[in-house]
Amino acid sequence: MTEYLKTLTPLLRPKAVLGDYVQGEPKQPSRKADKAYGDLQALYETVAVAKPYNLPRELSPPLSFTSVGLEITPLDYYHVAQSGAETRKIKVRCPLTWVLTYTDFPPTRLQELLDTKARSVEELQRFVLNYLVMHLATKSEPGLMQVFEALHFPLTTSKAPQFGELPITRIGIGISTARPSDALVIESAELTGMDAFEEVVKVEDIARLGDPLKERLLQIARQQAPELV
């Protein structure tokens, strides 16, 4: 996955999406830059002024993005498991899903920033903008989404309660994972001595992994010469 991401990084850079609305690089023509910046403004106004960010509404282009590399962070969430009279707060990891961000903007750092009372408005704004641009970079290019899908590393967007309306871009493997019963989760925590658990892979999904090119060719073959397929 990391090798694929390195190869596709230029297509996800802020400059590739926003064109001359990004400073610090040579000018590059972009037919979609104006629309992308309008979409960015609309998203920013929805996310930034609300909790937990409470940022100024205005953006002043050209925008500065210091990190243009990509970074993946394991996807974790907290779950309150209950079994009988016992209750435990468990940190659960999704083993086949990661949060995709620009370098140095992982969700763990964003959470730390939100938990800091004397946080920097400028730094928080940089985080919000980096997440919004990553969202636009993936959603504005359907062909790019199809490439990741064909590689069996689909890109998705989600939201997390602690991050409000901020869109979070995820990359994963096309195989489902699931959290078992709370009783089993608590039993695992007691055996390991850690309030942590990893979701279980659905092995049956592995057999369902398809090859889009193969399926398309078979479809054509069935139409042209069904007796041979």
Task: Tokens for 7, please give them.
Answer: 């190869």
- Domain that residue 133 falls in: 2-228
- If we measure between CA atoms, which residue out of 73, 51, 61, 55 comes closest to residue 163? 51
Confidence of residue 29 (pLDDT cuts 50, 70, 90): low
3-state SS assignment for residue 219: helix
Q: What global pTM score does this model have?
A: 0.85
Percent of the chain past pLDDT 70, that is, above it, reads: 96
Number of folded domains that form the chain: 1
Q: What was the pLDDT predicted at 215?
A: 81
- The answer, yes or no, to whether residue 196 has pLDDT greater than 80, is yes
Confidence of residue 27 (pLDDT cuts 50, 70, 90): low
Helices (H) and strands (E) in the chain, counts: 9, 7
Question: How confident is the model over 89-110, as a mean pLDDT?
Answer: 96
- The answer, yes or no, to whether residue 26 has pLDDT greater than 80, is no
3-state SS assignment for residue 82: strand
Question: How confident is the model over 193-204, as a mean pLDDT?
Answer: 94
Confidence of residue 105 (pLDDT cuts 50, 70, 90): very high
3-state SS assignment for residue 137: helix
- CA dihedral (32, 38, 40, 43) in degrees, to 10, reads -140
Q: What was the pLDDT predicted at 214?
A: 78
> Exposure string (b/e) for 61-81, b if CB count within 10 Å is 16 or more?
eebebeebebbbeebeeeeeb
- Please state the three-class secondary structure of 195-218 as a single string: CEEECEECCHHHHHCCCHHHHHHH
For 81, residues 6+ apart whose C-beta sits below 8 A from its C-beta are 87, 88, 89, 90, 182, 185, 186, 189
Beta bridge partners of 78: 91
